[in-house]
Structure 1
Amino acid sequence: MKQFVLSFNPENTDNGSEKELILTDREFHYLIHVRRYSSGDSIPALSPDGRVFKMSVLDVGKKSCTVGFTQVFKENTEKNSPLPRITLMPALTRGRKMDLVIRQAVEGGAFAIWPVLTENCQVKFRKDPDTSGKNERWQRITVEALQQCGGKYSTALETPGTIADILETWDRRGPLFFLHEQKTGNKEPNSLHQYLAEPFEDLAIMVGPEGGFSPGETGLLRDYGGKPVYLGQRVLRAETAAIYGLAAISTIIRESNEWQTA
């Protein structure tokens, strides 16, 4: 079900009481001009902290509208699902390709997205004015995707970093899988089913750029304890591999009760 994603956390509304607020700028434009809501209409609204509200349009002006909020769920049921918190770490790709990865990762249920700077990346990410523009666009895409898919938690968007920096920050909070275009030998299973046979609260999937990880990066990931995953003989584009890996892991975990007892 489509929903409205708020950029702020409304105050708690207890006993069915309603809080009134005024929406302006992008939120006003999306609700009134894109979704074409008018006075008297209602829509589910998700706050950044995961609460779900019933949002009713009370009055519409030229550049703003007044809405009322009634909290309908105090617990986020999707956060209590069997799926662990999955962080997707895709190599930074050019322009619209990265936009596509972010949009589809949100729709696919990623808990966080952490773009990776690799040796074979064709894109450089610097701390300059253009960087803030990219961040704003990616944040806007995550909101649009969440509004479209009806997910019940906001996907966190981390600042791009090198593999070494990300590994240090990840700090083994859960297993880290990296997609590899070749089987890596008999000592490692390379099988997602084997890797995912035990439950985890957090896990990460790292995806290389066009041309794959360099030998040095592969060695760094192995030394860290990263688990290589082989997805078959077909060579996938970086943006395809990212969503392929996320979907494969999510499906295997979601259906774990069926295949573990088969």
Structure 2
Amino acid sequence: MSDDSYEPPKVWTWDKENGGAFASTNRPIAGPTHDRELPVGEHPFQLYSLATPNGVKVNVMFEELLEAGHDAEYDAWLIEIGEGDQFGSGFVEINPNSKIPAMVDRSGPEPVRVFESGSILMHLAEKFGAFLPRSGAARTEVINWLMWQMGSAPYLGGGFGHFYQYAPEKYEYPINRFAMETKRQLDVLNRELAHKDWIAGDAYSIADMAIWPWYGNLTLGRAYGDAATFLSVHEYENVMEWARRIDARPAVQRGRMVNRTFGEPEEQLHERHSAEDFDTKTQDKIGSGD
């Protein structure tokens, strides 16, 4: 079906009632809508997020750092974007773009705000000397793929995912346009992973952590309803093998749970303030009174 009836006006105006599933989270202006201070926990790193793909990237990085023995304890506070938490004054002060995740690094003499998931990954990788080579071609290759993800995923999420799953009406042209681009991106990954274990080379890196929540979860059938069938993800065998290997990592399994408010209760840990929270404060345990 095509939309032959729409003629763009000479000057665009905002229709608050025509935003689809995420109408409450989108608006054409920046800045806070209300005053709200953010909570601060006891750990050096304060993360304010939700378990969207971009949020999961950072959760996984923290859990991988801890798994590797680094002193990277963090407090993860839930930002309910459907409720407009990202437009509170405290959050906007950390991220003027009002998108999750955002973080404050309080480990130094002065707090440092860090926003954009790729920037947070690089900040943590450089701080701990982990999951990012320090110099040379290997470092550049990791950054190449991190930047690829940052530039490509909007076509998957805001393009294909939106029009295929979330738009209030289905239109053939945008679905076909973004399905084609998503399949091209999967083919890019599939060709690269034909001759190496990890996307940037021999070592697991922040590039894998960035790409996996988007394209790994897509191939594992966890994104946008039945999109995996629609896109014939079984064709991308190398991506699927890579996705399963990352999915099996304990730190990734924990990272998927942090700030998660959907799915099965045992997969949800709304806030994380210590490693013990995974054993005592997931939503199934809270719901059962354990």
TM-score (norm 1): 0.27
1 or 2, which has the higher strand percentage? 1
Instruction: Give 1 or 2: higher helix fraction.
Output: 2
